[in-house]
């Protein structure tokens, strides 16, 4: 460093030996009584001072040895501060220096010379520290100021770099990071050519990414991400680049892979290695945004919601320009660690790359199922439910508020609405600030009035979408089958219009208008699987009958008042069964299988015998059961009727017994033989038939349980159970005398062609209904602070502030305790100039009226009902294609005209405020070169064209 100058000290006398050229500065001779040793040392310090940076203290005269010792030791004793620099000095040189300064003699032979840390390095080329160095044995640590003092005073060995290290915080303890982290940086496309880079544990992962981008010459426009290779060979994403190398658990020697996004929006790592892309697909260049989504199995609801959301210009622009990368919130406990936002961004970039006809949203589906278990499988779901989850997930993943403060919700308490609304919105923004809030959140006013004390509570609450009700009809159309007592008449199918909240008696009254039969002579039953699932009471609600139920209404004989001497009929439920041989050849048991439609038959009480019942049933079945001819006459082996001269006493045939395992399933069939509904027989009975010789019986009769699955050999009068009678047929007899085709036949009444016409509804009517005063339900009362109790208060919602993009959800599904239905009412909604100025109660001036006009940009359609699927498709207008509307049916995309948009299937509407569209158009035109006049020409950049 000093031209090969060497110093040797013998017997306390300095002697200078010259090796090579030597230039002795004049400054050495000018130091008066200083010895040659001290003069050269001072000169060396002066020369070394020129190598230090701006943080070093200015060069000054070398202080005394005692002063040097105090300055250095005082510096070593200072506490460590995170991020500050400390330097390593070899233990051997430092001990030599301590001996020198403690001796107090400048002429001492213990002079340490230039700082030499050669013993700390593995080699003289890379200057890499030796492994396993120990503080106090191999080196000492000096703060930056002490290090610069020593370099000023003694110099640094030629060619040696200073060993600077940072103070880091490890496990709440401040330590000097002696060994930096050496990472092997590689590209995904070239895993065999690593680049070694050193990082402090306090450096951010973003610095690692920046270093890798510089090393591999990645342009600023290209998007990259990092992976780390674990010891077992697996790879893990480094999603949060804001954390430190220490927090990311990166270790020396670990491989960090940088991946660059493809031009088509995909990532190389996401492409299957066992499939090859055809040249046609690779060269495909379509319109950005006109891209289908493959149905993974009942995922049309997800595809529809994604297509609609992708058509919101400001949101898609936000993702395409990578602004979301700066706002990813990985520490939000309410979020999804940024994974939903990144998965959605990948989907948007692929759809808007213009390189795909359709894409497979498998990764996005997996992410959604991971954070929302209800979407895990491949069942049918609702697009609005997914949309609600997605908007909330994107908001929390992109929330700019990293730590949410506690905000107390305050009631208006008589203050002006303007003041309360501003306070509520500011409180909302203090905890929720994201692109979702900027785009979709609005504010409505909620007014609650206590019915007892009249206390009025006014609050302002944010909303992300409006769920508006549809005007509901108070009528209901029901289809039933009417079974007449006249055996010659086939059952009739009727379509009846009844009150939606009516009773069973209303159903009978409606049927009476078509048949002329008195409602008092009707009984209503739900028939399922050839048996009575339930026999209804007249006072029961119609809501307990579902649209899918098979309802039969039977004509029975007239009723008479109960009295000791009054005549009374019994209504018996009748099942039809067929004997089938058992599969066990060693058993003589015969199985029984139900078939046909069951009957409700009126039987006079005074004729309750098996023989009389047989003839009554034979008469009721005469339309499809042939009577035996004279050739079939037989002396009659009627052992089946022996000991069965009479049925159970009618006086004990009343309400069902809980001991009968089938009664509950059959429903409340009590009182089918009660006094208030006792039938009077008007049909031709056995007494009117000509008496002939005994004939072979076509079937046998048995008392069974309500399911018809087990016989009752005896009737226990103590159970008071309703008797169910089964008609059992032998297979040969059934084949010979029973006409199955005729038995299943029925006719349609003229009313079946009746369709309840529904007048179309205007969207404005739905919004008005949304703002109508309503009374809270019993399940959701309001706690009145004045009354100190829960009250069924009246509630009114008013719109105060509308968002840039307004989502309107039409509540087509109605759910009650007994029923669910979908409303297929046609809602007429404007495509342009939807004016909300009449609905917003916030004070307006004339110039602000244009801020309440909206244009339609997307519609999510719902096809099918509650039972036959949730096939949901999307219609939206891609603004980069001259405002052309497109119909997205999963992977298929086709253009449509405006007159094809409005339909009964419209479910979720997306409206954009007109001033926002103009703003985006201005930004787009000012930020890009003049476009071609051809509408079909695809934009060359990733940004959306909002022309």
Q: Which residues are catalytic?
A: 300, 870
What letter does residue 156 receive in the DSSP assignment? B
User: Please, which residues bridge with residue 309 across strands?
Assistant: none
User: What are φ and ψ of residue 373, in 5° steps?
Assistant: -60, -20
CA-based R_g, the chain, Å: 46
**Does the CA dihedral 29-34-35-38 come out positive or negative?**
negative
- Relative to beta strand 794-801, strand 442-449 is antiparallel
Instruction: Give the CA distances from residue 782 to residues 424, 479, 791, in Å, rounded to whole numbers and listed in that order.
Output: 20, 40, 5
Find the angle CA(580)-CA(583)-CA(584) to the nearest 5 degrees: 125
What letter does residue 271 receive in the DSSP assignment? S
Among 195, 183, 187, CA closest to 246 = 183
| Residue appearing with tokens 């029975």 | 556
Contact 117, 160 (CB under 8 A): yes
Q: How far apart are CA 118 and CA 90, in angstroms?
A: 8
Sheet with 522-528: strands ordered across: 531-535, 522-528, 551-555, 475-483, 492-499, 747-748
Give Cβ neighbours of residue 678 (< 8 Å, ≥ 6 apart): 559, 560, 562, 566, 568, 569, 570, 605
Q: How far apart are CA 134 and CA 74, in angstroms?
A: 22
Helix 383-397 to helix 362-371 angle (10° resolution) is 80
Q: How far apart are CA 248 and CA 227, in angstroms?
A: 11
Q: How far apart are CA 929 and CA 385, in angstroms?
A: 41
Distance of CA 803 to the CA centre of its chain: 22
- The secondary element (H helix, E strand) that includes residue 168 is strand 164-170
Contact 826, 903 (CB under 8 A): yes
| Residue appearing with tokens 């069939």 | 669
| Tokens standing for residue 778 | 């019993």
Contact 146, 76 (CB under 8 A): yes
Contact 532, 553 (CB under 8 A): no
Residue length of the chain: 947
DSSP-derived secondary structure for 831-879:
SS-EE-TTTB-S---GGGGGGGEEEEEEEEEEES-SSS--EEEEEEEET
- Other Cβ atoms within 10 Å of 17 Cβ, number: 9
| Residue appearing with tokens 């009737």 | 715
| Residue appearing with tokens 């959140």 | 441
- The secondary element (H helix, E strand) that includes residue 797 is strand 794-801
Q: How far apart are CA 208 and CA 242, in angstroms?
A: 11
């Amino acid at each position: 460093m000093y031209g090969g100058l060497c110093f040797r000290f013998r017997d306390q006398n300095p002697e200078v030996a010259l090796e090579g050229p030597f230039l002795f500065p004049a400054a050495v001779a000018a130091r008066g009584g200083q010895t040659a040793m001290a003069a050269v040392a001072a000169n060396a310090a002066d020369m070394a001072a020129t190598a230090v940076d701006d943080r070093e203290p200015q060069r000054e005269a070398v202080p005394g040895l005692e002063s040097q010792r105090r300055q250095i030791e005082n510096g070593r004793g200072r506490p460590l501060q995170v991020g500050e620099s400390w330097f390593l000095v070899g233990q051997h040189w430092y001990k030599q220096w301590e001996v020198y300064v403690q001796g107090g003699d400048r002429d001492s032979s213990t002079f340490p010379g230039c700082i030499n840390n050669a013993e700390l390095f593995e080699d003289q080329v890379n200057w890499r520290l030796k492994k396993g160095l120990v503080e106090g044995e191999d080196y000492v640590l000096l703060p930056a100021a002490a290090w610069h003092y020593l370099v000023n005073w003694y110099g640094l060995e030629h060619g040696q770099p200073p060993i600077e290290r940072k103070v880091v915080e490890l496990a709440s303890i401040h330590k000097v990071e002696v060994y930096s982290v050496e990472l092997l940086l590689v590209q995904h496309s070239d895993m065999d050519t690593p680049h070694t880079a050193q990082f402090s544990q306090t450096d951010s992962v973003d610095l690692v990414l920046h270093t890798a981008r510089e090393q591999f010459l990645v342009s600023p426009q290209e998007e990259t991400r990092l992976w780390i290779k674990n010891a077992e060979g697996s790879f893990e994403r480094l999603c949060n680049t804001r954390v430190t190398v220490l927090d990311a658990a990166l270790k020396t020697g670990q491989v960090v892979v940088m991946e660059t996004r493809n031009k088509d929006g995909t990532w190389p790592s996401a492409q299957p290695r066992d499939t090859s892309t055809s040249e046609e697909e690779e060269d495909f260049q379509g319109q950005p945004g006109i891209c289908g989504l493959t149905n993974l199995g009942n995922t049309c609801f997800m595809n529809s919601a994604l297509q609609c959301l992708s058509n919101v210009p400001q949101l898609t622009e936000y993702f395409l320009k990578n602004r979301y990368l700066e706002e990813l919130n990985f520490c939000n406990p309410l979020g999804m660690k940024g994974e939903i936002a990144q998965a959605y961004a990948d989907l948007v970039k692929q759809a808007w790359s213009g390189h795909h006809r359709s894409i497979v949203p498998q990764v996005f589906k997996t992410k959604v199922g991971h954070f929302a278990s209800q979407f895990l499988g491949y069942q049918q779901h609702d697009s609005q439910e997914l949309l609600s989850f997605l908007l909330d997930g994107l908001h929390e993943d992109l929330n700019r508020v990293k730590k949410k403060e506690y905000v107390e919700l305050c009631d208006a308490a008589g203050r002006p609405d303007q003041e309360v609304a501003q306070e509520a919105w500011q409180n909302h923004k203090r905890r929720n600030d994201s692109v979702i809030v900027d785009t979709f959140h609005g504010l409505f006013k909620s007014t609650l009035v206590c019915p007892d004390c009249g206390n009025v509570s006014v609050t302002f609450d944010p909303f992300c979408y409006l769920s508006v009700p549809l005007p509901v009809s108070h009528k209901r159309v029901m289809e039933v089958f009417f079974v007449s007592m006249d055996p010659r008449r086939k059952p009739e199918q009727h379509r009846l219009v009844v009150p939606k909240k009516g009773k069973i008696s209303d159903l009978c009254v409606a049927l009476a208008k078509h048949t002329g039969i008195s409602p008092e002579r009707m009984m209503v039953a739900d028939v399922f699987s050839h048996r009575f699932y339930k026999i209804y009471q007249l006072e029961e609600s119609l809501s307990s009958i579902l649209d899918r139920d098979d309802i039969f209404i039977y004509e029975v004989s007239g009723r008479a008042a109960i009295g000791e001497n009054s005549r009374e009929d019994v209504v018996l439920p009748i099942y039809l069964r067929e004997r089938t041989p058992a599969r066990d050849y060693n058993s003589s048991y015969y199985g029984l299988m139900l078939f046909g439609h069951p009957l409700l038959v009126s039987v006079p009480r005074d004729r309750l015998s098996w023989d009389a019942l047989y003839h009554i049933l034979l008469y009721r079945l005469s339309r499809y059961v042939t009577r035996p001819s004279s050739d079939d006459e037989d002396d009659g082996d009627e052992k089946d009727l022996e000991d069965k001269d009479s049925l159970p006493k009618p006086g004990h045939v009343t309400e069902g017994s809980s001991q009968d395992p089938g009664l509950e399933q059959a429903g409340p069939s009590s009182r089918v033989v009660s006094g208030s509904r006792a039938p009077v027989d008007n049909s031709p009975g056995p007494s009117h038939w000509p008496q002939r010789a005994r004939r072979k019986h076509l079937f046998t009769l048995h008392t069974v349980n309500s399911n018809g699955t087990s016989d009752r050999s005896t009737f226990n009068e103590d159970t008071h159970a309703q008797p169910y009678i089964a008609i059992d047929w032998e297979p040969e007899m059934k084949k010979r005398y029973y006409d199955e085709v005729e038995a299943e036949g029925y006719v349609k009444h003229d009313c079946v062609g009746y369709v309840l016409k529904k007048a179309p509804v205007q969207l404005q009517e739905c919004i008005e209904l949304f703002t109508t005063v309503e009374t809270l339900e019993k399940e959701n009362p309001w706690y009145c602070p004045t009354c100190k109790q829960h009250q069924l208060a009246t509630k009114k919602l008013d719109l105060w502030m509308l968002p840039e993009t307004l989502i309107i959800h039409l509540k087509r599904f109605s759910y009650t305790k007994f029923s669910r239905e979908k409303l297929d009412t046609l809602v007429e909604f404007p495509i342009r100039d939807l004016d909300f100025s009449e609905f917003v109660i916030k004070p307006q001036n004339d110039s602000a009226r244009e801020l309440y006009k909206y244009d339609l940009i997307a519609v999510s359609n719902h096809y099918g009902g509650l039972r036959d699927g949730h096939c949901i498709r999307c219609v939206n207008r891609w603004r980069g294609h001259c405002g052309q509307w497109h119909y997205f049916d999963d992977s298929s995309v086709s253009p449509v005209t405006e007159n094809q948009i409005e339909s009964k299937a419209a479910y979720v509407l997306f409206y954009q405020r007109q001033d926002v569209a103009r703003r985006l158009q201005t930004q787009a035109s000012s930020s890009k070169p003049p476009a071609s006049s051809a509408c079909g020409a695809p934009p060359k950049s990733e940004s959306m064209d909002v022309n």
